[in-house]
Amino acid sequence: MANCKQRGSALPPSTGLEGEGNCRLHFLPKYLSRQNNLLSIAGGALLLLLVFGQSLGAPRSFSVDYKSNCFRKDGEEFRYISGSIHYNRIPRVYWKDRLLKMYMAGLNAIQTYIPWNYHEESPGQYNFSGEKDVEYFLQLAQKIGLLVILRPGPYICAEWDMGGLPAWLLTKKDIVLRSSDPDYIAAADKWMGKLLPMIKPYLYQNGGPIITVQVENEYGSYFACDYNYLRHLSNLFRTQLGKEVVLFTTDGAGVGYLKCGSIQGLYATVDFGPGTNVSAAFDAQRHAEPHGPLVNSEFYTGWLDHWGSRHSTVSSAALVKSLNEILAMGANVNLYMFIGGTNFGYWNGANEPYGAQPTSYDYDAPLTEAGDLTEKYFAIQEVIKMYHKIPEGPIPPTTPKYAYGAVVMKKLQTVLDALEKLSFSGQVKSLYPLTFIELNQAFGYILYRTTLPVNCTTPTPLSSPLNGVHDRAYVLVDGMAVGILERNRAITVNVTGKAGSQVDILVENMGRINYGKGINDFKGLVSNLTLGKDTLTGWTMYSLNIDEAVKQGLLGDREATPADPPQPVAFSSPAFYSGSFIIPDGIPDLPQDTYIKLPKWKKGQVWINGFNIGRYWPARGPQVTLFVPAYILSTAAPNNVTVLELEEAPCNSEPCTVEFTATPILNATVHSDYKQSRRLFVKEDLL
Ligand SMILES: *[C@@H]1O[C@H](CO)[C@@H](O)[C@H](O)[C@H]1NC(C)=O
Ligand SMILES: *[C@@H]1O[C@H](CO)[C@@H](O)[C@H](O)[C@H]1NC(C)=O
Ligand SMILES: *[C@@H]1O[C@H](CO)[C@@H](O)[C@H](O)[C@H]1NC(C)=O
Ligand SMILES: *[C@@H]1O[C@H](CO)[C@@H](O)[C@H](O)[C@H]1NC(C)=O
Ligand SMILES: *[C@@H]1O[C@H](CO)[C@@H](O)[C@H](O)[C@H]1NC(C)=O
Ligand SMILES: *[C@@H]1O[C@H](CO)[C@@H](O)[C@H](O)[C@H]1NC(C)=O
Ligand SMILES: *[C@@H]1O[C@H](CO)[C@@H](O)[C@H](O)[C@H]1NC(C)=O
């Protein structure tokens, strides 16, 4: 970093501020120049220096100034221009690149959530290593010169499975999440008792980058409106983090939201998107906080997607117009998202009426899912430039993508063939069907098996009268695919067969609801199925650990005989497919990032070298390509692609392929007209 010194010294001196009761600020006073000089110093020495540097000057402080209506950092008026980045949606190898790009855009802070269910997948089993090393992420942000606005939940929404709450909370069937329910409180206390002491050293006043910490998230949009719960969390955070830390809440910019979302002792902030009447939105904040800094904690740069709904976009023009208005008012702002990233594996959430979010969380943000610079990025930078000095120097370039081309796939076993290998824990029998949680499985797929109790010589409706297929089920009779049941959409398939025929129902958890009162989202067959007028009973259930089977390479070739039974045209038995490709020689800088595309495939899950890339569903859209980060690819061995196709692979008559391309497609025409409740910037709760 040859130009660090230069850049640091190019900053204006930290003069006083103009304006009455307003925070019109210069870019990152003092702190930044110190940080910049430290950029070239190795990580270990950094902390020492910070502590040393601190002991030389005034103590580090960060607070709300109710007189001047602004934040105060080290005694000086301060305004943040921040961007959201979720470390859990970005490969660790790219954290630094993305943070640097954010810094170079002119941001002086970032905002991140901490998803509880990502770090405590089973009760008491914590994981903060590798991709989950949130402390390392905080250290990187600080090293780059970014402050941090931390949102540790316990509930985070975030279009993340169950809004970040661990599914194992549902082992108490009637638990009232996000309330004073003693079992919920006990679990949340235990988690926060682990997490908060870990982040305490990273608070600004303790030498770290964290300036503010959010308590809960948009609590005013939740039906419970339990002030005792908010008060409990407030006390807990205060006790764990100390009396100086600025704790805040965030709610929709309406007095109605703030009613149940804000309490004494937590600084109330709002969120709203482009096109909103900015002064009216801040009037709502003023209703709860007559004095103090104006803060938009989520200013939407784009918006979320759902399978089956059109890809959301927000124009740069609309965005920068509102951003300019916000900054002109001296308000603090966090751009949500600055980079969205990816819901790898099974981590996506869903909204009501049930609609799951896709694998990509691109969000039409200024940095794409893959971290690419966009026209929106530069448009934002231009606006920030009018208010704050922005850093000089090169912006890390967009990382190159490579089109590895088509990979021929061959069929492996079907899920039914491979059942023993997939079901590590064996079978569970029960008169009535059990849910995922009752079977001790959080994510993925479970196979439910029973038999036809009667002769069905004519098509007989097999139904879920209470809409209890959560979320999608692939129905087979004697190994023949006969149809699909889908939550809210298809509650009946017709079956024929003799009494005693085997009925297999592969149920997919497509992601738990993350917003509203439906977050107690049980998965699997959550109510009885009927055949004609009879309730189906006598179930055998197989928990499937497909990820482990893929990783261990357990899935075998399909046996040559017997031939597949003739299938009705629309479906085939859910099955695995595999193929491999080699990174070409002689091209510099390979492997590079790429996108996988599955033309003519329908719906399923894809792994590369055992890494779960996520769900694909081009048959519904709008997402067509899945982001494949280079770090999971190998130059030392062929790269293995494994696909679980749930409906029908295009492999019957011709050799079938998947394709690696250099260009993402997230906005294909959707094959559905399912209405979503969360329209652009609208967060109505279904009370
Ligand atoms: C913790 O999470 C990381 C993902 O970054 C994973 O590689 C590792 O296996 C996990 N550790 C345990 C003990 O599950
Ligand atoms: C925006 O809201 C303010 C009230 O805060 C109101 O005075 C103003 O007329 C509104 N502007 C527009 C364009 O609706
Ligand atoms: C089903 O039909 C067969 C004749 O095809 C008959 O033998 C059998 O008893 C029937 N079973 C039931 C349960 O009705
Ligand atoms: C099932 O069959 C009945 C009678 O043939 C038909 O009316 C109905 O539409 C079918 N239902 C489905 C879901 O295919
Ligand atoms: C299925 O029905 C039985 C009998 O009515 C009932 O006891 C049971 O709770 C139901 N199971 C589910 C999962 O709804
Ligand atoms: C792909 O699978 C083959 C065969 O199991 C194995 O030899 C190879 O190491 C795998 N490739 C990677 C990158 O793991
Ligand atoms: C998708 O986005 C690209 C790039 O912005 C655009 O060229 C294309 O027309 C869009 N396609 C659809 C179907 O909207």
Instruction: Tell me the average pLDDT across 63-69.
Output: 98
Protein residue with least CA distance to atom 8, ligand 7:
667
**pLDDT confidence band for 8 (50 / 70 / 90):** very low
Per DSSP, 56 falls in state H
Largest Cα separation within the chain, whole Å, is 87
Gap between the Cα atoms of 177 and 157, Å rounded: 13
**What pLDDT is recorded for position 686?**
36
Comparing 669 with 28, the larger pLDDT belongs to 669
- 5: pLDDT strictly greater than 70: no
- 453: pLDDT strictly greater than 50: yes
User: Mean pLDDT: which of 30-44, 49-63, 494-508 is highest?
Assistant: 494-508
Indicate the angle between helix axes 134-144 and 182-199, nearest 10 degrees.
40
Dihedral of the CA atoms 84, 85, 86, 87 (nearest 10)? -150
**What pLDDT is recorded for position 654?**
77
Cis check: omega of the bond before 591, within 30 degrees of 0 = yes
Q: Which SS3 state, helix, strand or coil, does residue 123 take?
A: coil
- 543: pLDDT strictly greater than 60: yes
**What pLDDT is recorded for position 685?**
52
Ligand closest to CA 633: 6
Gap between the Cα atoms of 116 and 114, Å rounded: 6
CA-atom Rg of the chain in angstroms: 26
Gap between the Cα atoms of 685 and 52, Å rounded: 49
**Residues 420, 539, 471, 124: is their CA dihedral positive or negative?**
negative
**What pLDDT is recorded for position 570?**
67
Give the Å distance between the CA of 505 and the centre of ligand 3.
Answer: 23
Q: Which SS3 state, helix, strand or coil, does residue 375 take?
A: helix
Which domains, and CATH codes, for the chain? 62-386 (3.20.20.80), 400-415+550-560+568-686 (2.60.120.260), 425-544 (2.60.120.260)
Give the Å distance between the CA of 494 and the centre of ligand 4.
Answer: 6
**What pLDDT is recorded for position 565?**
55
- 26: pLDDT strictly greater than 90: no
Instruction: Tell me the average pLDDT across 86-97.
Output: 98
Mean pLDDT computed over every residue of the chain: 90
**What pLDDT is recorded for position 66?**
98
Residues 423 and 441: beta-carbon distance below 8 Å: no
Q: Catalytic site residue 218? A: yes
Atom of ligand 1 nearest to the CA of 121: 14
Give the pocket of ligand 7 (CB within 6 Å). Answer: 667-669
Q: What percent of the chain has pLDDT over 70?
A: 89
656 Rama sector, left if φ>0, alpha if ψ -120 to 50, beta otherwise:
beta
Residues 177 and 519: beta-carbon distance below 8 Å: yes
Q: Of 570, 584, 575, which is closest to residue 639 (Cα–Cα)?
A: 584
Ligand closest to CA 534: 5
Gap between the Cα atoms of 326 and 396, Å rounded: 28
**What pLDDT is recorded for position 25?**
33
Atom of ligand 6 nearest to the CA of 634: 13
Query: φ and ψ at 404, to 5 degrees?
Result: -75, -10
Q: Give the count of alpha carbons within 13 A of 91, CB side only.
A: 16
Instruction: Tell me the average pLDDT across 111-132.
Output: 98
Protein residue with least CA distance to atom 11, ligand 2:
277
- Please list the alpha-helical segments (H only) found in 242-374: 255-261, 278-288, 316-328
Query: φ and ψ at 318, to 5 degrees?
Result: -65, -40
Q: Of 606, 577, 578, which is closest to residue 594 (Cα–Cα)?
A: 606
Q: Which SS3 state, helix, strand or coil, does residue 355 take?
A: strand
- 277: pLDDT strictly greater than 80: yes
Reported as a single tens digit per residue, the pLDDT across 165-202 is: 999 999 999 999 999 999 999 999 999 999 999 999 99
Q: Which residues pair with 63 in a beta bridge?
A: 72
Q: Catalytic site residue 298? A: yes
Cis check: omega of the bond before 655, within 30 degrees of 0 = no
Parallel, antiparallel, or unpaired: how do β-strands 594-597 and 534-535 relate?
Answer: unpaired
- 557: pLDDT strictly greater than 80: yes
- Tell me, using a 6 A CB cutoff, whether residue 131 lines ligand 1: yes
- 300: pLDDT strictly greater than 80: yes
- Tell me, using a 6 A CB cutoff, whether residue 279 lines ligand 2: yes
**What pLDDT is recorded for position 402?**
98
E strand or H helix at 300: strand 295-300
Instruction: Tell me the average pLDDT across 120-147.
Output: 98
Give the pocket of ligand 6 (CB within 6 Å). Answer: 553, 609, 634, 637-640
Reported as a single tens digit per residue, the pLDDT across 364-383 is: 999 999 999 999 999 999 99
- 442: pLDDT strictly greater than 50: yes
- Tell me, using a 6 A CB cutoff, whether residue 382 lines ligand 1: no
